[in-house]
C-alpha cells in the first residue's frame, strides 16, 4: 500500500470512528429522552375527501433535543429500533396519543404508527390494551398504522396479532401502500380497515399518467375490498381535485395542514373549507 493509500485508510477509520461515537452519544441521549420529557407528539389532520371535515389526527413523534433542536423521527426511530429503546418509546407514543385524544374537545380518531421492528419487539396488544384502559378512550377511536413489512417474516404471527387488535375494537390501516416489495397475496391474509396511498404516488399526480392510473387502481382495489382509502402527502389543489374525482375517502397533507402540536388546530372551520 502506498503512503497515500494508508493515509486515506486512516482517515476513513477515523471518520467511521467519529460516526460511531456520534451514534453512541445520540443513543445515550435517547435513552433519557422519555424520562426527561423531551419527546412530544405532533398531529396532522386527516380530512374527509368530500366534506373536508377532520376525522382523524395522525400522531407523529418529535424529539425536542435541548441542544440539537427538533429531531425528526427518521433520525432516531431506526436508532431506537437497533438499541431496543423502541419498546419504551413506542409504549410512550401509544399511551400519550390515547391520553391526549381522550381530552380533545371532539371525538376525532387518533392514529399511531408502529414500525415493523417495533411490531416484532413489542407486545403491541398489551401496549394498546394498557393505554385504552388507563385513558378510558373508546377503542374505535384508535387507529394503528402498520406497513406490509410486518408480514414479511412471520406472517401467521403478525396476522394473529392484527386479529387480536381488531377484536379489541381498534382499526388497522396499511400505511405506505404500494411501496413495499411483497406481492398482493398478503391482502388475502387480513382485512385491513384502510389503505394509505403513499405520497410518492400522490406527488406525481398531474405530472404523469401512470401515477394517475396507479392511484385510481389503488383506490378501486381498496373500495372493492371494502375498505377506506386515504391519500397522504397531498400538497396541491390539483392533486386534491384528482383524488376527489377518483373518490378517495380521506385526504392528508400539507395542503390541509402540516403536523403541529394539537393546540394549533383550534380553527377547524378553516380546515373544513380548505379541502
Stretch that binds ligand C2E, among 45-53, 58-66, 206-214, 261-269 (CB under 6 A): 58-66
Rounded to whole angstroms, the Cα distance separating 163 from 225 reads 17
- For Ca ion (CB under 5 A), the number of binding residues is 5
Of 195, 126, 181, 194, the C-alpha closest to 151 is 181
Q: In this complex, which beta carbon is closest to Ca ion, that of residue 29 or of residue 257?
A: 257
Of 205, 177, 182, the C-alpha closest to 193 is 177
Q: Of residues 44, 96, 113, 230, which one binds Ca ion by CB under 5 A?
A: 113
Is 169 strand, coil or helix? coil
**Binding mask 153-182 vs Ca ion (x if CB under 5 A, - otherwise)?**
----------------------xx------
Rounded to whole angstroms, the Cα distance separating 114 from 51 reads 29
- Which of Ca ion, ligand C2E, none interacts with 250 (beta carbon under 5 to 8 A by kind)? none
Q: Is 72 among the residues that bind ligand C2E (CB under 6 A)?
A: yes
Region 218-237 residues binding Ca ion, contact defined as CB under 5 A: 232
With 0-12 / 13-18 / 19 or more C-beta atoms within 10 angstroms meaning exposed / middle / buried, residue 30 is buried
Q: Of residues 176, 195, 219, 228, which one binds ligand C2E by CB under 6 A?
A: 176
What is the per-residue burial (b if ≥16 Cβ within 10 Å, else e) of 190-222? bebebbbbbbebbbbbeeeeebbebbbebbebb
CA atoms within 13 Å, Cβ hemisphere of 269: 0
Rounded to whole angstroms, the Cα distance separating 109 from 104 reads 10
Q: Is 254 among the residues that bind ligand C2E (CB under 6 A)?
A: yes
Stretch that binds ligand C2E, among 28-36, 149-157, 218-226, 233-241 (CB under 6 A): 233-241
Rounded to whole angstroms, the Cα distance separating 238 from 73 reads 29
Q: In this complex, which beta carbon is closest to ligand C2E, that of residue 72 or of residue 261?
A: 72
- Alpha-carbon torsion 86, 30, 42, 218, what sign? negative
CB of 236 to ligand C2E, least distance (A): 9
**Binding mask 96-135 vs ligand C2E (x if CB under 6 A, - otherwise)?**
-----------------xxx--x-----------------
Binding site for ligand C2E (CB under 6 A): 44, 59-61, 72-74, 77, 93, 113-115, 118, 175-176, 199, 232-235, 253-254, 259
Binding site for Ca ion (CB under 5 A): 113, 145, 175-176, 232
Amino acid at each position: 500500500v502506498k503512503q497515500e493509500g494508508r493515509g486515506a485508510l486512516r482517515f476513513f477509520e477515523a471518520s467511521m470512528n467519529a460516526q460511531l461515537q456520534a451514534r453512541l452519544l445520540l443513543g445515550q441521549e435517547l435513552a433519557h429522552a422519555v424520562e426527561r420529557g423531551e419527546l412530544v407528539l405532533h398531529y396532522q389532520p386527516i380530512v374527509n375527501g368530500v366534506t373536508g371535515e377532520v376525522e382523524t389526527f395522525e400522531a407523529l413523534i418529535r424529539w425536542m433535543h435541548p441542544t440539537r433542536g427538533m429531531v425528526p423521527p427518521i433520525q432516531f426511530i431506526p436508532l431506537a429500533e437497533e438499541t431496543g429503546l423502541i419498546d419504551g418509546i413506542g409504549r410512550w407514543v401509544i399511551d400519550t396519543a390515547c391520553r391526549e385524544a381522550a381530552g380533545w374537545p371532539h371525538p376525532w380518531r387518533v392514529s399511531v404508527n408502529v414500525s415493523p421492528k417495533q411490531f416484532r419487539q413489542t407486545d403491541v396488544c398489551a401496549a394498546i390494551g394498557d393505554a385504552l384502559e388507563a385513558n378510558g378512550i373508546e377503542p374505535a377511536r384508535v387507529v394503528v398504522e402498520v406497513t406490509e413489512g410486518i408480514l414479511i417474516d412471520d406472517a401467521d404471527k403478525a396476522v394473529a396479532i392484527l386479529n387480536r387488535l381488531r377484536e379489541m375494537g381498534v382499526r388497522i390501516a396499511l400505511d405506505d401502500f404500494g411501496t413495499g416489495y411483497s406481492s398482493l397475496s398478503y391482502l388475502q391474509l387480513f382485512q385491513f380497515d384502510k389503505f394509505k396511498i403513499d405520497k410518492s404516488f400522490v406527488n406525481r399526480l398531474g405530472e404523469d399518467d401512470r401515477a394517475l392510473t396507479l392511484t385510481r387502481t389503488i383506490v378501486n382495489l381498496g373500495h372493492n375490498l371494502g375498505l377506506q382509502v386515504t391519500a397522504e402527502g397531498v400538497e396541491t389543489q390539483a392533486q386534491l381535485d384528482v383524488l376527489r374525482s377518483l373518490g378517495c375517502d380521506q385526504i392528508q397533507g400539507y395542503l390541509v395542514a402540516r403536523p403541529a402540536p394539537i393546540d394549533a388546530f383550534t380553527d377547524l372551520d378553516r380546515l373544513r373549507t380548505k379541502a
